[in-house]
Amino acid sequence: MPNVGKPSIVKLGTIDCDMVETTPIVFQNRLYRFEYVRSNYKPNKTGIPFFRFIDVDSGESTPAFAHGFHLGSAYVDDDRVFVYGVDAWGGSKIKVFWSRDLKEWRSEDALILPGCGIYNNSLCRSRDHYIMAIELGEPAGLVGVRFTIFFAESDDLLKWSMRPFNEAFSKDRYTACPAIRWLDGYYYMVYLEQTLGLTYEPYTIRSRNLVDWQSSPFNPVMRPSAEDKKIASERLTAEQRNRIANAVNINNSDLDFCEFNGKTIIYYSWGDQRGTEFLAEAVYEGGLEDFFRSFFRQ
């Protein structure tokens, strides 16, 4: 069998400034982008962070919710949308919000980890339960080299419990920003590596047991490039376009993705990894299953 080349991801360009952690979802046959709106996002006049969804086709925003929460992720389960957020930047509590219409939200505590610093999270459904990948930055005695990904599980998407702490990736180096999925008996995960060249690049790995991980021969998934700075939204102002053109770019981080109309829709951040960051989109011309399988096809 001939060698198969690296999967082709097409970068479409930048769509917003100062927007980082986002999750694309399909709900009621429409593509939405979940956004964690930080307090420094210029259109945010509240002074505090909040969550919202953007209807990608219309550009319209749903009502803001989860004011004061950080680092969210979104998940669709049948007719409900679940969102998970951290009570503070590096806080110790994850709260779950859920809704059937993206307007009215209920909430309760999902997971409390006293003494731990919680950051990004992502979840998927496996064979018989749900698994959440959780990025922890503290305490040093637990996480090793900051940051490290641990795992929790749930039967109902509401109450979560940590799995054994030996199920971690990876305490010997910087590993952050998880996006996890389940396919063919494997957990597939895209995460962020800090490279020797001091850039930040996404890698993909897979595991059957959340302990032993296989790295794709086609890593990294993407690299910082001039294509990140392409303009992909007419809504960007002249000032924003100038910021984009002159920005330092050393990272492609915080990838998340979903399948829509037979394609894999990807959102990611680029910038200087020090607070000057931009939201960009990309596409893989194939479904999500093919996307992950292609990274391990030789």
- pLDDT tens sequence across 111-127: 999 999 999 999 999 99
- pLDDT tens sequence across 218-274: 999 999 999 999 999 999 999 999 999 999 999 999 999 999 999 999 999 999 999
- pLDDT tens sequence across 37-52: 999 999 999 999 999 9
The rounded distance, in Å, linking the Cα atoms of 274 and 126 is 35
Q: What average pLDDT does range 68-95 have in this prediction? A: 98
Predicted pLDDT of residue 202: 98
Q: What average pLDDT does range 198-205 have in this prediction? A: 96
Dihedral, 235, 83, 77, 268 alpha carbons, nearest 10: 40
If we measure between CA atoms, which residue out of 115, 116, 99, 117 comes closest to residue 107? 99
Please give the sequence-ordered ranges of beta strands (E in DSSP) within 18-62, or none if there are none.
Answer: 22-27, 30-37, 50-55
- Tokens, residue 119: 């950051």
Q: Which fold has domain 9-294?
A: Tachylectin-2; Chain A (2.115.10)
List all residues 6 or more positions away from 43 whose beta carbon is below 8 Å from its beta carbon: none
192-231 in b/e burial notation, b at 16+ Cβ within 10 A?
bbbeeeebbbbbbbbbeebeeeeebebbbbbebeebbbee
If we measure between CA atoms, which residue out of 234, 291, 201 comes closest to residue 7? 291
Residue 2 has pLDDT above 50, yes or no: no
Q: At 233, which helix (H) or strand (E)? A: none
If we measure between CA atoms, which residue out of 111, 132, 108 comes closest to residue 120? 132
Residue 95 has pLDDT above 70, yes or no: yes
At residue 216's C-alpha, the angle toward residues 210 and 218, to 5°, is 160
Residue 3 has pLDDT above 80, yes or no: no
Q: What average pLDDT does range 62-80 have in this prediction? A: 98
Annotated domain spans of the chain: 9-294
